Structure formats: C-alpha cells, structure tokens
Amino acid sequence: MTMRRPSVEGLTRARLDREEGYRLLGLLQDESYQRSLLPGLEEIVPGFPDWLVTALFGGTYLREGLSLRDRQLVNLAALTAVGGVDPQLAGHVRTSLRVGMNRQEILEVFVHLAPYIGVPRALAGLRVAVAAFADTETDTETDTETDADADTETDAETDAETETDTEREGEGGR
C-alpha cells in the first residue's frame, strides 16, 4: 500500500515563531506559573513544553482576528466547560487580569456560562476564579512587602554609609 503525500499547494503557511512564543508567554503568564509547569513537564516528556509554547504562544496566539482579551474570554469559557482543569483555569484567570480584564468581567463570564454548561460547572469556575483572585492579592501583598523590605534595607545601608562617612570626617579632623 502506497501512502499518498497530501498536497500542500494552496495552503497558507502557518506562522510558528518560537522566540515570539516565549516572549508572549512571559507577557501573559506569571513567572511562578511558568516555573511550576515547564521544568516538571520537561522532565516527564522532553521537548513537549517547548512544542506547547511554540505552537500555542508562537502560533495560535499570533493569529489575526482575536485580541488577547478575546482569547482569554474563550479560554475561560472552554476551560470551565471542560472542567477538571483548575490549575489551568486559575492561570488563565490571572492572565485575564494581566491583559486588562477586571474582576467583574471575569466573574460575569461564569455567570453567562451557567445556562450553557450547567450551574455546577459555572460554580466550579467561580470558585477557581475567587481563589485565583485571592492568590493574586497575596502575591501583590508579598511583592509590596518585599519592595518595602528592600526600601528599608536600602535606607539602612544609606544610613550606615552616612554614619561611616561622618566617622571618617571626624577622624580626619583630629
């Protein structure tokens, strides 16, 4: 049996841009999500994470016709309808915030989905979104505390340097 090679004439060449995929991943997904997903996946199935980033973020996401915000609406709806993918749904809730959606818009997605996918699935999606919002607040508070700690350390270092300079001036004047 001879396999016929499919004709590629007339097909539009798909855009797959690995570099742009990683850039867009960095823009859309927070660093902690990337660190929790990609290396572990690489250990289990080498090359698969790179394919995912290249095909999704360097391919599908780069297609014309939908804004990043619109793509997030679709992602929230699809993941909620599928169910059982809470980590991915939580990640896309955070990404939705990153692309400019507000909490009310995100929550309204789940309300709108209820008659289409069922109330239990919509409620499950709402629970994931609320938990992702809480995680986002915790991350923001931690970032703010870290920034404040860094400012305090910098102030302390500046004060110490000033004291040392003053001591040197005092010793030089004796």
Query: Please, what's the largest Cα pairwise distance for the chain?
Result: 101
User: Mean pLDDT throughout 138-152?
Assistant: 56
Tell me, yes or no, whether 122 and 40 share the same domain.
Answer: no
Q: How many Cα atoms are found within 13 Å in the side-chain-facing hemisphere of 92?
A: 23
Rg (CA), the chain: 24
- CATH code: domain of residue 149: 1.20.1290.10
Cβ partners under 8 Å of residue 131, min gap 6:
90
The pLDDT value recorded for residue 173 is 46
Tell me, yes or no, whether 138 and 169 share the same domain.
Answer: yes
Residue 144 banded pLDDT, cuts 50, 70, 90:
low
Domain count, the chain: 2
Tell me, yes or no, whether 95 and 54 share the same domain.
Answer: no
Residue range 68-125, pLDDT digits in tens? 999 999 999 999 999 999 999 999 999 999 999 999 999 999 999 999 999 999 999 9
Tell me, yes or no, whether 73 and 37 share the same domain.
Answer: no
- Provide the mean pLDDT of the chain: 84
Rounded to an integer, what distance in angstroms lies between the CA atom of residue 161 and that of residue 147?
21
Tell me, yes or no, whether 99 and 158 share the same domain.
Answer: yes
Tell me, yes or no, whether 129 and 160 share the same domain.
Answer: yes
Residue range of the domain that includes 140:
67-174
20 has a pLDDT exceeding 80: yes
7 has a pLDDT exceeding 60: yes
Tell how far CA 157 is from the center of its chain.
35
